Amino acid sequence: MKMLNCDVAVIGGGPAGLAAAAKARQLGAENVLILERDIRSGGILRQCVHDGFGLVRFGKRMSGGQYAQHFLDEVNELGIRQLLNTMVLEITKDRVIYACNETDGMLRITCGAIILAMGCRERTRQQVFIMGTRPAGILTAGAVQRYINIEGYLPGKKAVILGSGDIGLIMARRMTLEGMEVEGVYELMPTLGGLRRNKVQCLDEFGIPLHLSTTVTQVYGEQRLEGLTVQQVDENRNPIPGTERYIECDLLVLAVGLIPENELSIAAGIEMDPTTRGPVVDESMMTSIPGIFACGNVAAVFDLVDYVSETGETAARGAVRFLQGEICADEPYVQIEKGENVGVMIPQRFHPSCIGDEGLSVYLRVTKPLEKCVLLAKDGDREVYRKRHDIALPPEMLRADIKKDAAPAALKLEVNG
Amino acid sequence: MIETFKQLLAKNEQLNKYDIGITIDEDRVATLTGEVDTWQQVVDIGHIAGGIKEIYSVVNNITVKGLEIPVPDYTKEIETARKIGVIHETDVLVIGAGVSGCSVARTMSKHSLRVAVVDMHDDVSMGASKANSGAIHPGHMAKAGTLKAKLNVKGNAMFTQLHEELGFDMKRRGGYGIGYDEEDKKVLEYIVKTAKLNGVPGCDFFPVDELLKLEPNIKGRPIIATHNTTMGTVEPYEVVIALANSAALNGVKFILGAQVYGIEILGDRDFTVITRKGLIRTKYIVNAAGVHADDVAEMVDDKFFTIHARRGTIPIFDKRIPYPYSTGIGTVSKTRNVESKGGGCGMTPEGNINSGPSATETPYKDDTATYKSDLDYAMRIAYSVVDYLKPSDVITYFTGVRAADYKEDFIIGMSKKVCGFVNVAAIQSPGFASSPAVAEMVEGIILDDCKAADIPVEDNPNYDPFLKPKANFRRLSHEEQDRLIQENPKYGHVICRCETITEGEILDVIHSPIVPTSVDAIKRRTRAGMGRCQGGFCQQKVVEILARELGKDWVEINLKDEGSNVLAAHNREEATTDEDA
């Protein structure tokens, strides 16, 4: 078995991992290693030919590939080693990685710090309990995107999309542009699942209807999908009898949510947050195992890639501090409290004396749509962050940037509508 | 018999309003006619007739008002097959590549007779044999005195040797039955009594105190417990594929994608079987056609039984969720008694919890769609045994259709009317556990007949019961994994991330005797795509490997049978694959 050592190993060469690796190197980590299972780094961005990436970070619209290339160039300029086609099979509590590929065989990598950046996977047809047969022609949006944008194939002629999250909306436009018919986008919830700008650009401009509070309940066809039933749902998301409508189609595209891919983290014994479905992390994105960090969509599903990269850089700062022995491992954690209207939130806890010069960013989603609201971070009665939002929607993440000077001893986040 | 039937029907308040005709022939086969309102009533009346001891078998021609079950017309297909002509000649032709058919084929390959198997699907194990719980039942549930009981107990024991020869996964974890009240107690006492009558080894009462020590996660305090040491589980499709590969290595010819449209009887032990691929000449036919066994029997004009399809749904849970017991635990649950449908909640050899199956009678024999009511039933069983399971832990669910007859027993034997036509029909649970014994019985029937007909049969001198062990990358230590990759680098390329399945393993199965040609066929052989993401990431890679290895275009690769192409069309011809780029 081949033995390797590195200061920082980054598992996953997507937007989180690339940003983390570059930042770790820039901050002085000598030997940074990226482990990527695909034939090249870039992650899911490789198949995102649409634009809209990088607005927050670079102030311009980039395609997924362009956004990834920016970081990939940085990684290459910094001379960071990438092991491609390499699958990580196990990570241990004492920061050893077992990975394999065709050329090296099994690798045992002893790491100073590990940054988890494995991203997420898509929920499947079974996880939303669509009844009926099991024909070809039912695919997740990401799989459709890969077939069309990377492999050069069309997976159907007439598609129905379930789920109005960003990937669903983007794929509605993509498939239309590629000459496929998109019958409509169906959304179980009464509100849009993705960003508003994506609805305008991807559905409205192409005349693709969006049906809210409607879901796919049954599919038909023995070999290839022949059609499906859509049905309206009540406020408890139960299908309303009598509202069934049959649609003939040969492709059902599922954009029904993302799940952080934490099989390695769980197997390593890392403490998980059932709400984010990612590891519980602190101000430097460190997990419950010292020296193992998590960033991007493996930690929580983000709406913007800019945030994904940001958390990668936060994790990198933490990893470098850990290598330098500057992590306040002895100081007890303070839980960050979720106040009014706060749903998913990351990080979940922090060390009050460990907030670096860059401050502490807390990302959160509201539990319901709010207008003219205020995002507040409080230490007891003292406000340490305040920002007005004209509108706050559950699909769009909010960020509270708490300055180091605010020096909170405790934190509670709330969104008052 | 007719009188008994009429009396029983008259006593039934739900069914006595219907005018049901019954005739009984010299072989004590009852034929029922009439019209009722629901399919369940058709089945219930069939069971009333089947329950009469003197009746040998039931042909149920009762129809449901307003329900037309389409009868396919194969005139055109038969014409096409005749134009193709004879594609194969054999001594024994098995119709149906399920567990029964493949077991029979493998067992017959021990002899000098030529053996072939046809199936309508493009792979083996495509019917009930792939869509069941994988339980290797001990034989304690089969009614005493039935053929089913006898073959179940024998087959269960034979599975040990089969497992050694073929190397499929099997866990004999054993099983406990627990009961909480007097009613449960009666059920368990009946089971132990049945087990003793059937000669099931290692099935008896078990001290509750000891059980609670062994299985501390048992809820509440049972008043009675039974233990079954021979209860086992397999991944059922894996067994059938192993049987088929072993049969093929021993000379059995598999003709897949060859639905049987008709049979011509040319004389005793002389048939032409008309299939989608062409005509097949054979001396013997083994009718192991599952839910269609009665349809195949009708092709030789000897339909003396009716198969009624019983749909069963099984959910599979993420293997991250632990099973709380070290062995299978069966409760005699209240819900189950009310619904009296059976089913359980156990763990597959791979470590996934599964539950069910449900049991719903259906007039549609090929309807393997999943319905909410069936899934809900199976989920209730799961929750009753493992209370921390959640709907979000389900990674998939599937539905199979059991081939039941109205005597609810196996039908195995040479047709009384058609010499050379052997039925292996109405094989339903515990058909899987029984299959080795079923095969042995069929072997006896055919060899006896050969002897009677002076057909010489020798031993097959090249018969080899063993299959080469599979490389299971995911189960090896890292050192062993390293050695495997050094031997063949393709084992270092992980294709399915959820189940850790490598390209090397996929290539191994593509180059095995029964060539998997579809994405699902690869899944059943390797588990690629069987995990929590259900092929979201690896399907495209499997399509790519299949196309490359089989010399096909991507758009020709099917998910399952012909017509289930994963992709509809090429889009941008200039698009390059990653390898080209």
Which one, of A307, A334, A311, A317, lies nearest residue A407 by Cα?
Answer: A334
Q: How far apart are CA B572 and CA A151, in angstroms?
A: 9
Burial of B161 (0-12, 13-18, 19+ CB in 10 A): exposed
Residues B514 and B381 in one domain: no
State how far Cα B252 lies from the chain centre: 20
Residues A245 and A300 in one domain: no
Residues A145 and A234 in one domain: yes
**What is the distance in angstroms between the Cα of A246 and the nearest Cα belonging to chain B?**
17
The residues pairing with B230 across neighbouring beta strands, listed in sequence order, are none
Q: Check B88, B111, B121, B137 and give the catalytic one.
A: B137
Dig out the tokens for A295 from the structure.
């960033």
What string of DSSP letters covers B86-102?
EEEEEEEEEE--SHHHH
Q: How far apart are CA B234 and CA B430, in angstroms?
A: 13
Residues A160 and A232 in one domain: yes
Provide ipTM, 2 decimals: 0.96
- Count of domains for chain A: 3
Catalytic residue status for B47: no
Structural domain ending residue among the three candidates B359, B387, B404: B404
Q: How far apart are CA A377 and CA A342, in angstroms?
A: 11
Whether B113 is in a domain gets the answer: yes
Dig out the tokens for B22 from the structure.
């019954």
Whether B551 is in a domain gets the answer: yes
Distant-in-sequence, close-in-space partners of B23: CB < 8 Å, separation ≥ 6:
B2, B30, B31
CB count, 10 Å around CB of B337? 12
Whether B577 is in a domain gets the answer: no
pLDDT digits (tens, 9 = 90+) for A253-276: 999 999 999 999 999 999 999 999
CB A131, CB B372: distance < 8 Å: yes
Q: Which of A4, A124, A252, A254 to mutate to test the interface with B (most CBs of B within 10 A)?
A: A124
Residues A26 and A95 in one domain: yes
Residues B242 and B124 in one domain: yes
Q: How far apart are CA B219 and CA A104, in angstroms?
A: 50
Please tell me which of the candidates A132, A148, A152 has its beta carbon nearest to residue B370: A132
Residues B399 and B410 in one domain: no
The residues pairing with A2 across neighbouring beta strands, listed in sequence order, are A107
3-class secondary structure per residue, B231-260:
CEEECHHHHHHHHHHHHHHCCCEEECCCCE
Q: Where are the beta strands (DSSP E) in B165-216?
A: 170-171, 175-179, 203-205
Residues B195 and B143 in one domain: no
Whether B382 is in a domain gets the answer: yes
- Count of domains for chain B: 5
Please tell me which of the candidates A98, A124, A148 has its beta carbon nearest to residue B534: A124
Residues B510 and B462 in one domain: no
Dig out the tokens for A253 from the structure.
């595209």
Please tell me which of the candidates B396, B558, B573 has its beta carbon nearest to residue A136: B558
Whether B56 is in a domain gets the answer: yes
Residues B281 and B416 in one domain: yes
Structural domain ending residue among the three candidates A266, A298, A327: A327
Find chain B residues with C-beta within 8 A of A147's C-beta.
Answer: 540, 567
pTM listed for this prediction = 0.96
Which one, of B381, B376, B305, lies nearest residue B343 by Cα?
Answer: B381
Prior bond of B357 cis (ω within 30°): yes
The residues pairing with A120 across neighbouring beta strands, listed in sequence order, are A260
CB A74, CB A22: distance < 8 Å: yes
Structural domain ending residue among the three candidates A305, A327, A349: A327
**What is the distance in angstroms between the Cα of A122 and the nearest Cα belonging to chain B?**
7
Query: Residue B53 belongs to a domain with what CATH number?
Result: 3.30.1340
Q: Tens-of-pLDDT digits for all 417 residues of chain A? A: 999 999 999 999 999 999 999 999 999 999 999 999 999 999 999 999 999 899 889 999 999 999 999 999 999 999 999 999 999 999 999 999 999 999 999 999 999 999 999 999 999 999 999 999 999 999 999 999 999 999 999 999 999 999 999 999 999 999 999 999 999 999 999 999 998 889 999 999 999 999 999 999 999 999 999 999 999 999 999 999 999 999 999 999 999 999 999 999 999 999 999 999 999 999 999 999 999 999 999 999 999 999 999 999 999 999 999 999 987 667 899 999 999 999 999 999 999 988 999 999 999 999 999 999 999 999 999 999 999 999 999 989 999 999 999 999 999 999 998
Query: Residue B353 belongs to a domain with what CATH number?
Result: 3.30.9.10
Q: How far apart are CA B99 and CA B106, in angstroms?
A: 10
Query: Residue A160 belongs to a domain with what CATH number?
Result: 3.50.50.60
Structural domain ending residue among the three candidates A214, A235, A256: A256
Structural domain ending residue among the three candidates B467, B501, B518: B467
**What is the distance in angstroms between the Cα of B313 and the nearest Cα belonging to chain A?**
11
Residues B300 and B353 in one domain: no
Whether B70 is in a domain gets the answer: no
Inspect the interface and report whether the beta carbons of B536 and A101 lie closer than 8 Å.
Answer: no
Whether B69 is in a domain gets the answer: no
Residues B289 and B238 in one domain: yes
Domain, as residue range, for B19: 2-64
Residues A412 and A346 in one domain: yes
Q: What is the mean pLDDT of residues B172-198?
A: 91
Which one, of A389, A402, A336, A392, lies nearest residue A365 by Cα?
Answer: A392
The residues pairing with B35 across neighbouring beta strands, listed in sequence order, are B63
Find chain B residues with C-beta within 8 A of A250's C-beta.
Answer: 568
Whether B565 is in a domain gets the answer: no
The residues pairing with B204 across neighbouring beta strands, listed in sequence order, are B227
Q: Where are the alpha helices (DSSP H) in A87-189?
A: 141-146, 166-177
Distant-in-sequence, close-in-space partners of A386: CB < 8 Å, separation ≥ 6:
A374, A375, A376, A377
Residue owning tokens 């039942």 = B137
Residues A239 and A338 in one domain: no
Domain, as residue range, for A139: 124-256
3-class secondary structure per residue, B510-560:
HCCCCCCCEHHHHHHHHCCCCCCCCCCCCHHHHHHHHHHHHCCCHHHCECC
Residues B346 and B387 in one domain: yes
Residues A321 and A340 in one domain: no
Using CA atoms of B156, B157, B161, B162 in order, give the dihedral in degrees to the nearest 10: -20
Residues A22 and A83 in one domain: yes
Find chain B residues with C-beta within 8 A of A266's C-beta.
Answer: 320
